[in-house]
Amino acid sequence: MVFCPDGLDQDSAVTRTPTTREWLDRLVAFDTTSRNSNLDLIEDVRDWLKGRGIESWLAHNPERTKANLFATLPAHDGSTQGGIVLSGHTDVVPVDGQTWDSDPFKLMERDGNLYGRGTCDMKGFIATALAMVPEFQTQARRKPIHLAFSYDEEIGCMGAPTMLAEFADRGIRPDGCVVGEPTSMQVVVAHKGINVFHCKVHGRAAHSSLTPMGSNAIEYAARLICHIRDLADAYKANGPFDKFYDVPYTTMTTNLIQGGIALNTIPDLCEFSYEFRNLPDMKPVEIQATVKRYVAEYLLPRMQAEYPDARIDIVDGGAAPGLDASEEAAITQLARALTQDRQIRKVAYGTEAGLFQALNIPTVVCGPGSINNAHRPNEYVPLEQLAQCEGFLRNLGQALTEPDAKG
């Protein structure tokens, strides 16, 4: 789909210069809920960039139903090395079961705010970055600016790794990255890691009047869930702690469970999912090892004493590493200088920033809108925040014209 304002033919629409608001209207209209394809949006952006002489490459999912987009606006001398990545995800969360005052996939302005699914998280940042492209092209920058737009961030940062995996082969070595998640245009230098696991407890079915003949999958799943809660309580009581987080310790929680077929039947299967959000300096593999050790040394032997073929399967459901940006990094110093924000902010929610940092690309998080408005009905971004983001990106590009630009 190519956005075409009234009175313009398609060719003009591809090459014209949409405003941030027009871009946001354009992006919100694509229903890129994570269960859907994002290709219409990605291809629309790719075609518009191509109309301005900017080539993009796409990194698809295995089914080729979704794609990441990466594009480079070279430095004034044509160089594509170094520079800053402006990163955002194109997928949004569902609106199912939510009560909206307007169509969530049609941009609506009320009281200085723009409403629609994804306006805050995080199409507002993408819209601003795209609206700034023509201005970026006029700057005599010594460093390039890169655009990185991903898929499936909302379901565990599943899309960006397929793009980042190509960086080495393509010789892409950015100096820094700004992930534009909603932070009210304040600088976030750290966030927790997210780790999701799916567990299946396999027991043995029996009539409930013959309880000793079965092995109750629900009851053993409950023991494991309680152990996970005990671990969570220990982190809450004993740390380690980081006072700069709103929740200053690692958390663990079980959020989905199902099992059983009838009231009078011992269940042979119980499935549940749990997650933990670790402080960046804690190793997820060591946290998960405590769960596996409990299963191997305590829980499974008890189950197999009742039913030798009992088993407990735990599989990874996705993970995103935490972020812990250095205050000495050029991108951190640049972001702080541009926002005049010196406060240390660390958040419990996850982003793709840790994925960039894992490639030794210094990264910070800074974007328009408040995380408190993300995922909710009547999601919105203030027009004032979009204007601040425009100024931030304009000044970021200008900073890359300086002789000692390192960002």
Q: What is the CATH number of the domain that holds 84?
A: 3.40.630.10
Coil/strand/helix, residue 153: coil
Mean pLDDT of the chain: 94
Residues 229 and 249 in one domain: yes
pLDDT digits (tens, 9 = 90+) for 166-204: 999 999 999 999 999 999 999 999 999 999 999 999 999
The answer to whether residue 406 sits within a structural domain is: no
Residues 36 and 153 in one domain: yes
pLDDT digits (tens, 9 = 90+) for 376-386: 999 999 999 99
Residues 141 and 236 in one domain: no
For the chain, what is the total number of helices (H) and then of strands (E)? 12, 18
Residues 33 and 182 in one domain: yes
CB-side neighbour CA atoms (13 Å) of 258: 2
In angstroms, the CA 128 to CA 23 distance is 8
In the chain, what is the straight-line distance between the N-terminal and C-terminal CA atoms, in Å?
35
Residues with a known catalytic role: 91, 153
Residues 17 and 165 in one domain: yes
Residues 15 and 121 in one domain: yes
The answer to whether residue 380 sits within a structural domain is: yes
pLDDT digits (tens, 9 = 90+) for 198-245: 999 999 999 999 999 999 999 999 999 999 999 999 999 999 999 999
| Domain with 92 in it | 10-190+322-399
| Mean local confidence (pLDDT), 361-386 | 97
Of residues 358, 156, 197, the one with CA closest to residue 290: 197
Question: End of a domain among 294, 320, 346?
Answer: 320
Give how many domains the chain has, as a whole number.
Answer: 2
Residues 58 and 135 in one domain: yes
Assess whether pLDDT exceeds 80 at residue 162: yes
Residues 156 and 206 in one domain: no
Question: End of a domain among 270, 290, 320?
Answer: 320
CATH number at 267 reads 3.30.70.360
Assess whether pLDDT exceeds 90 at residue 402: no
In angstroms, the CA 179 to CA 186 distance is 12
The answer to whether residue 239 sits within a structural domain is: yes
Residues 63 and 128 in one domain: yes
Give the confidence band of 5 by pLDDT, cuts at 50, 70, 90: very low
How long, in residues, is the chain?
407
Residues 84 and 171 in one domain: yes
The answer to whether residue 3 sits within a structural domain is: no
The answer to whether residue 52 sits within a structural domain is: yes
Going across the sheet that includes 190-191, the strands are 323-324, 190-191, 346-347
The answer to whether residue 274 sits within a structural domain is: yes
Question: End of a domain among 282, 302, 320?
Answer: 320
